Amino acid sequence: MAVDVLLGLQWGDEGKGKIVDVLTPKYDVIARFQGGPNAGHTLKFEDTKHVLHQIPSGIFHKDKLNVIGNGVVLDPITFKKEIEALRVLSAFNMESLVVSKKAQLIIPTHRLLDVAYEESKGARKIGSTLKGIGPTYEDKISRNGLRAGDILSPEFDEKYNKLKKRHTDILDTYGFAYDLEPLEKEFYEAVNFLKQFSLVDSEYLLNNKLAEGKTILAEGAQGSLLDIDFGSYPFVTSSNTTTAAACTGLGIAPNKIGEVFGIFKAYCTRVGSGPFPTELFDETGELMRKNGAEFGATTGRPRRCGWLDLPALKYAIMVCGATKLYMMKADVLSGFEEIKVCIHYKNAEGELLSSIPYDLGENGLTPIYQSFAGWEDDLTEMTSFDQLPGQLTSYIDFIESEVGVPIEIVSIGPDRKQTLIK
């Protein structure tokens, strides 16, 4: 059996949570492989809307196993809150979730460091979610981190204090004021809470499941254009968000990867700073934000909106090896007279570029658009591809022919049911 991977091809918030929830019935195991509480994955069904941050989006289906993989950075405080919120919805049993012992732990001073680093950047700030993601991955790579498995060690306090000291020394050099006591109290309560859960060698667990013929869906967080290597550096997150990260973040060998489902919005959004060539600053962008309810699921910040960017999408498809595409939020474009899609960029020298440049924010880079006729139809009640307006199918056909990968799902609303599968 192979592991299928589902990930975002843009700057995050493509609708990964919704689609993982839709696909979960086909799989035995759902596994998150990177990122942490910077993610906000929204699910909607039976009038319930729920946002998950670290817990995989298969959690609402009984009898499925959800795995938080070694590539994830886990904040015990957010974890406790998430489980408590699921218990309110009676949507949780202990057997349905396991955590890799090798997942790195976010401690309170990681979050403080995130704030201190952002403040020191001034106008060049990343627009981080301030959840401690960067500092935690930094400690992982510099071999100073704490891992989930460490909470079971008699030396946990000692390890924690050593890491904290490292952080407070840095915070002091930044002149950053903080009161750690209440944060630490909350952290230790959450660590004790986490001890009730199965902390596992998830690489063995997942490979054994594969050997037994079980099916696994790997759930990405963020999006390809936020990847630490391939994204719009330095305005990125601190992990690899592309397909290869499913291998390192779960302990799955590359030859065990099956389908790669690439999710993209019918337009583009971005939250936080950084280049966004097709961004709209006019009433069209406002309308996208309004129709698409484009406000961050983790921070509530308004998302920047713009037209679909094909050079960027092709790049993400290339780097991820996407085998199938899912187009999200097609309903949001209903009522737009004209739909535009960026097919090239023009640089300051007037050259046409069909690939993305080294610096997506370089001066003078302008998108060159192709226009499509819009549609008035409300898509949200439609039940099959055949009902989609001709203008939308032309738009879909054009994208497929440009990128060379089939669009197999068109999403027409936030609810599970509002999903058209070809």
Which residues contribute to the site for Mg ion (CB under 5 A)?
A: 13, 40, 297
Query: In the stretch 395-414, what mask flags binding to ligand GDP with x, by CB under 6 A?
Result: ----------------xxxx
* 237 belongs to the binding site for ligand IMO (CB under 6 A): yes
335 and 380 Cβ atoms separated by less than 8 Å: no
- What are the phi and psi torsion angles at 361 (to 5°)? -100, 15
Pick the catalytic residue: 41, 50, 53, 110? 41
Report the number of secondary-structure helices (H) and strands (E) in the chain: 11, 20
String of b and e for 100-135 (b: at least 16 CB within 10 Å)? bbbbbbbbbbbbbbbbbbbeeeeeeebbbbbbbbbb
Shortest distance, CB of residue 420 to ligand IMO, whole angstroms?
22
| Near ligand IMO by CB under 6 A: residue from 5, 8, 98, 309 | 8
Q: Answer with the entry of Mg ion, ligand IMO, ligand GDP, none that 15 interacts with (C-beta below 5 to 8 A by kind).
A: ligand GDP
Q: How many CB atoms lie within 10 A of CB 256?
A: 17
Rule CB under 6 A: which of 254-293 touch ligand GDP? 292-293
* 71 belongs to the binding site for ligand GDP (CB under 6 A): no
Residue number, nearest CB to ligand IMO? 272
The strand pair at 97-100 and 198-200 is best described as parallel
Q: How many CB atoms lie within 10 A of CB 11?
A: 29
Query: In the stretch 268-287, what mask flags binding to ligand IMO with x, by CB under 6 A?
Result: ---xx---------------
Annotated catalytic residue 13: yes
Q: Answer with the entry of ligand IMO, ligand GDP, Mg ion, none that 328 interacts with (C-beta below 5 to 8 A by kind).
A: ligand GDP
13 and 297 Cβ atoms separated by less than 8 Å: yes
What letter does residue 145 receive in the DSSP assignment?
-
Whole-number Å distance between alpha carbons of 173 and 175: 5
Please name the residue that has the structure tokens 């440049």: 357
Binding segment for ligand IMO (CB under 6 A), chosen from 70-78, 120-128, 313-321, 405-413, is: 120-128
Shortest distance, CB of residue 299 to Mg ion, whole angstroms?
10
Closest residue by Cα to residue 263 from 408, 422, 391: 408
* 304 belongs to the binding site for ligand IMO (CB under 6 A): no
Q: How many CB atoms lie within 10 A of CB 191?
A: 21
270 and 303 Cβ atoms separated by less than 8 Å: yes
| Near ligand IMO by CB under 6 A: residue from 66, 104, 109, 129 | 129
Strand partners, 365: none
Q: How many residues bind ligand IMO (CB under 6 A)?
A: 24
* 133 belongs to the binding site for ligand IMO (CB under 6 A): yes
Annotated catalytic residue 110: no
Residues that bind ligand IMO (CB under 6 A): 8, 11-13, 35, 38-41, 126-129, 131, 133-134, 221-223, 226, 237, 271-272, 297
What are the residue numbers of the active site? 13, 41
